[in-house]
Structure 1
């Protein structure tokens, strides 16, 4: 009987294999050249030429002070007389110059560029395409978190660019990058959209980049990324390179994000972003079963007196929706909250203990970089806590290692080499802040949590040198 079962199983496997087939594309029987007629070439000149008229060169000057000469001692006439020639050789303040690009977005002189192009500049000068005349520009407003700034020159009837809807972009779409690389003058390069919605690059606080292989080099920052119609799809921002030159991995801020930010900067001179007050991370494979295989952003910390705290959100809650919009990862939540206004009422859905809940929250105002949604690295570590030694954070330890008062927990004082704790990802100097639903303030809390969850998978919140991480272990 055993053999019959085995044979029938093998036959079933063979039958299933015979039903499988590879799908082939039809054979190529015709090739068409873009040169349909003699004397005709395939060109995007019309689209590129029109868009190029709206891409300007930006030069900046910044005075860099010599910290040595700022010392009052150096301004003492006796000191200057005593040291004579030596004093005259001390470097004084210097002027730092930089080049970048910008895009005219209205006929009355508004220009959008990257914040890092004009950041800290004492003087901003704009040169229009095909002209050597320089125009002094004034700063209208800047958004350092999104790396967007708007400047303005006093000139009317300027050529300007029209915006494409960046939500319509697809991988493989043809694009052109226009800018002023290395200060050589206006340059156009061609490529495709390599990827969309890229985040976690560590370039900006709010990231939703278009990735392209169109050549982007130093000086291209703030320039235009356009489609084959000549419409703006993005503002060129950064590259990944080992040499400093283009290696086919460039990033641009999508036109929809640029449009929203630029409009707000022109209207109010600043960006006011919604503030939820949570630290978040992507859901990991270890945590997925805890949340019924749902997607979302895992809450790993909550700021004191924040909107999240007042709403009753807790560490380990998985936020899955905001105002009916599904959240797939931490970056999506961060960008969405950042796009909303302070005092705006939102409805979120979250999962706690495998049950779905709903909360209504009034967003606060994100006033500085210390109050922001934080996306932390993924950590899929597994392992036991054997080999780990911890001690309570004392005032002396806090002072010695400059640990902020709002971080509580126990400090990892040693991790045995080749131990399960080391395999799990613990490091000396880590601070264990929470284990599942238990906040850790001392070694007694730590022992209590280990006893409660002994032999069970548990989520451990850890502050380390590289930020916050979650370690899941038994």
Structure 2
């Protein structure tokens, strides 16, 4: 007798039961294989109380760098002159001063970066200039006082010292790679709110002629830098220090957005080492101001033109005058006034340099001994062309 034909529904049910049994067996004896299959199929999801790791975040970089960034509160006493009476045409003697000079306490906000485990801190000169007392708030909330080791207005950097040991510190690595387009993080104390982090990219390198400092070689970034961020850290996505935040362009152009500047670590390290060793930064000085030169036809660059000579300076004693064109320094052609200024500053006071140039088309050669560059604001004004 022939067996009845199998029913299709029974076949499907048996197949489904076999699949369920196989799935249960895999889940029990090979859970890793099940997870891999689910991930390959795009079926994995976070469950309640769990979260998959964030991608592209910078929490590790912040955790590495933030403990070395401090908040700075600098107090200075401001003396206000007595009030002046409004002149009265019908009365005499009402144009003098009345009352006594008044004093008021002004507190400036800023940030700083601990750069050594024994408590040396880098910040901006403009944050602490004229301060009578400086308070520092550490990452863990501790409050301590700091003393000024030295300050350099020419680069807008200052070095502070606080008591402590085994403090969290960021290394000043001048060789840390940095390219336009790299992501950077600005860490500081904006508006006194407490430590905060903003993110942006490197917009440009080697920015100068901004009239922020005498020697400028700034990193430009669109990471938010606000009042209170000055002196804070600019770090890369590995948490390495790449710059000291110093200014935002809205200080000069109110409508500017996303244009901030930081001092590179190479400059910061040089200033730190000299201030710790000497108490100040020692630079060579010829005593002249110069600008870009051009050929008589104005079609290419040619040397640098002296536009001012400081009275009593080495350049003045050597007879250099505004309008002279400098062509070589120690046999090397000069055509960039910024680079020439950096070369001059890097030389040792007391050393001699040979300058070649022209005056009204007549060549000249001079040997000049460099002096030590006076502090900013102490130099006599340069004589400009008449």
TM-score (norm 1): 0.61
* Aligned 8 A contact 1:109 1:154 in 2: yes
Q: Does 1:269 align with 2:283?
A: no
Residue 97 of structure 1, CA deviation: 1.1
Higher RCO by CA contacts (8 Å cutoff, separation 6 or greater): 2
Tell me the equivalent position of 1:367: 374
**Correspondence for 1:301 among 308, 313, 317:** 308
Tell me the equivalent position of 2:136: 126
Residue 290 of structure 1, CA deviation: 6.2
SS in 1 for 2:295: helix
Tell me the equivalent position of 1:282: 292
- The verdict on how the C-alpha distance between 1:305 and 1:194 changes in structure 2, with shifts beyond 3 A counting, is same
Tell me the equivalent position of 2:196: 187
Alignment of 1:77-96 (within 5 A): 92-96=102-106
Tell me the equivalent position of 2:114: 104
Give the whole-Å Cα distance in 1 for the aligned partners of 2:245 and 2:159.
15
Give the whole-Å Cα distance in 1 for the aligned partners of 2:300 and 2:364.
16
Residue 348 of structure 1, CA deviation: 4.0
Q: Does 1:316 align with 2:312?
A: no
SS in 2 for 1:185: coil
SS in 1 for 2:276: helix
Alignment of 1:320-359 (within 5 A): 320-323=327-330, 327-350=334-357, 359=366
**Correspondence for 2:205 among 196, 202, 219:** 196
SS in 2 for 1:53: helix
* Aligned 8 A contact 1:105 1:112 in 2: yes
SS in 2 for 1:162: coil
Residue 157 of structure 1, CA deviation: 0.6
- The verdict on how the C-alpha distance between 1:135 and 1:174 changes in structure 2, with shifts beyond 3 A counting, is same
* Aligned 8 A contact 1:275 1:372 in 2: no
Q: Does 1:45 align with 2:53?
A: no
SS in 2 for 1:189: strand
- The verdict on how the C-alpha distance between 1:234 and 1:328 changes in structure 2, with shifts beyond 3 A counting, is farther
**Correspondence for 2:170 among 158, 161, 165:** 161
Deviates most, 166-175 or 187-196: 166-175
- The verdict on how the C-alpha distance between 1:216 and 1:324 changes in structure 2, with shifts beyond 3 A counting, is farther
Q: CA RMSD in A?
A: 3.1
**Correspondence for 2:227 among 214, 218, 224:** 218
- The verdict on how the C-alpha distance between 1:275 and 1:135 changes in structure 2, with shifts beyond 3 A counting, is same
SS in 2 for 1:241: helix
Gaps of 5+ in 2: 1-43, 46-51, 84-97
Residue 194 of structure 1, CA deviation: 1.1
Give the whole-Å Cα distance in 2 for the aligned partners of 1:345 and 1:296.
20
SS in 2 for 1:332: helix
SS in 1 for 2:172: coil
Alignment of 1:355-434 (within 5 A): 359-368=366-375, 369=377, 371=379, 433=386
Q: Does 1:257 align with 2:267?
A: yes
Give the whole-Å Cα distance in 1 for the aligned partners of 2:320 and 2:78.
46
SS in 2 for 1:155: coil
Give the whole-Å Cα distance in 1 for the aligned partners of 2:313 and 2:349.
12
Tell me the equivalent position of 1:208: 217
- The verdict on how the C-alpha distance between 1:370 and 1:125 changes in structure 2, with shifts beyond 3 A counting, is closer
Give the whole-Å Cα distance in 2 for the aligned partners of 1:172 and 1:119.
34
Give the whole-Å Cα distance in 2 for the aligned partners of 1:348 and 1:373.
23
Tell me the equivalent position of 1:227: 236
Give the whole-Å Cα distance in 2 for the aligned partners of 1:187 and 1:356.
58
TM-score (norm 2): 0.74
- The verdict on how the C-alpha distance between 1:167 and 1:159 changes in structure 2, with shifts beyond 3 A counting, is closer
SS in 2 for 1:49: helix
Number of aligned residues: 320
Tell me the equivalent position of 1:440: none
Deviates most, 224-233 or 104-113: 224-233
Q: Does 1:55 align with 2:62?
A: no
SS in 2 for 1:331: helix
Give the whole-Å Cα distance in 2 for the aligned partners of 1:353 and 1:239.
42
Give the whole-Å Cα distance in 2 for the aligned partners of 1:336 and 1:95.
41
